[in-house]
A and B are shown apart, each in its own frame.
Chain A
Amino acid sequence: MTATSSSPSALEVTIPADRRRMEPLDSGQLCVIVPAFNEAASVAGVVSDIRTAIPACRVVVVDDGSTDETALRAASAGAAVLSLPVNLGIGGAVQAGYRYALRSGCLVAVQVDGDGQHDPDEIARLLEPVLDGSADLVVGSRWLGRGDYAAPSNRRVGMRILARIVSWRTGQHFTDTTSGFRAAGPSVLALFAHEYPADFPEVETLILAAKRHLRICEVPVRMHARAHGRSSIAGLRSLYYMLRVLLVLLLGQPGRGHG
């Protein structure tokens, strides 16, 4: 990363502002984004766990056009609820959360899935590199030895292939590119509010951030097997998923979904 300042004398201008440790956040500056589509069974638990783990934050549940009681359960658990009028899919929902976060003056955002797969107790670990100024985007990886998350072998093979390709494209080693458990510092928050891929965003956003020379790091986290429902990406859809993501990875130009 190079500083684009014309004054070479002061040491400070050669260091981007966000490379230094951030000022302590007040409760209005940290936003936890919880995308949820028909997660009435788990969303309230996720919200209250987040509020217990990180008392000083805004929790916003993005209800992606659910037909069940997701919005109500989230609201009664104390979250702000952003209800989308139509189902946009995970990318559109998460981006709505980032837009809300940016507009309400947040500096740091954390993404936690509404299905209970991500353990809110791990949010602090995700936040650490952002707060100490060593990373702009932090990805919680389930494959770095913490927890005992298990995936079926065919899924694991797919995940490994994606991790390889992303590592190759970015020149940085990744283990868990499909993880949606992430923390974003100010620059990534602004980027994602502005530009976010629509359909299968997790992998694509890594390339997007890397292209902008934002610093990405992985931290080990514990993940649970989902408590309810099943993955939205299963069966034939997972083949389609791999195809789509590979296409994006190999052709580049990610993130042009929603400008």
Chain B
Amino acid sequence: MRPFALGLGVSVAFLLVILVAIRRRALRDQMAVLWLAVSVAMLAMGVALPFHLLDHIARAVGVRYGSDLLFGAAVVFLVLLVLQLSVAVARLHARTTRLAQELGILLMDDRPLRPSQAGPDNSPVA
């Protein structure tokens, strides 16, 4: 019974964290839906643990152990997620670049250079 309680506890806690994050608008729409789905799936797996549901599904798709199926699926999911995030970062990078260029051009007309303005904030754009 202990793994059951542990699994359930973790998935409920995870769901709570996601809900709080959504309430605080720390997660944007798309990602909020995704993580909500993930936490619900975790909860469902936790609840279904005693019925060996995962093992049945695994056997149905030709995988011997439920845990293997879970790990496999998790790896695929995480790789796709990271890929999606890399694409999103690249898109943000392009936007940041564009904005910095436009800002630079605007400031040229607007604010002739004075000695006190040397040394801009040089934080890197990641």
Contacts and interface: CB of A to CB of B under 8 A. Distances in A.
Interface string A192-208: 00000010000000000
A209 interface: no
B124 interface: yes
Given A71-B113, A81-B108, A258-B94, A86 B118 contact: no
A82 B110 CA distance: 11
B100 A88 contact: yes
A132 to B, nearest CB: 31
Given A92-B100, A257-B94, A259-B94, A82 B108 contact: yes
A258 B104 contact: no
Q: Is the interface of B mostly helix, strand, loop or mixed?
A: helix
Most central of B103, B105, B122, B123 by chain A CB within 10 Å: B105
A87 B123 CA distance: 8
B3 interface: no
Interface in B110-126: 113, 115, 117-125
Contacts of B97: 88, 92, 95, 198, 257-258
B97 to A, nearest CB: 5
Contact of B105 (A68, A71, A100): A100
Given A65-B120, A65-B122, A257-B94, A85 B115 contact: no
A67 interface: yes
Interface string A152-178: 000000000000000000000000000
A62 interface: yes
B98 A69 contact: no
A84 B122 contact: no
Given A75-B113, A83-B113, A88-B125, A258 B98 contact: yes
Nearest to A100: B105
B67 interface: no
B107 interface: yes
Contacts of B120: 65-67, 83-86
Contacts of A81: 108, 113
A69 B118 contact: yes
Interface in A58-98: 62, 65-69, 71-72, 75, 80-88, 92, 95-96
B84 interface: no
B104 A85 contact: yes
A83 B96 CA distance: 15
A87 to B, nearest CB: 6
Nearest to A69: B118
In order of increasing CB-CB distance, the 3 nearest A-B pairs are A96-B101, A84-B104, A75-B113
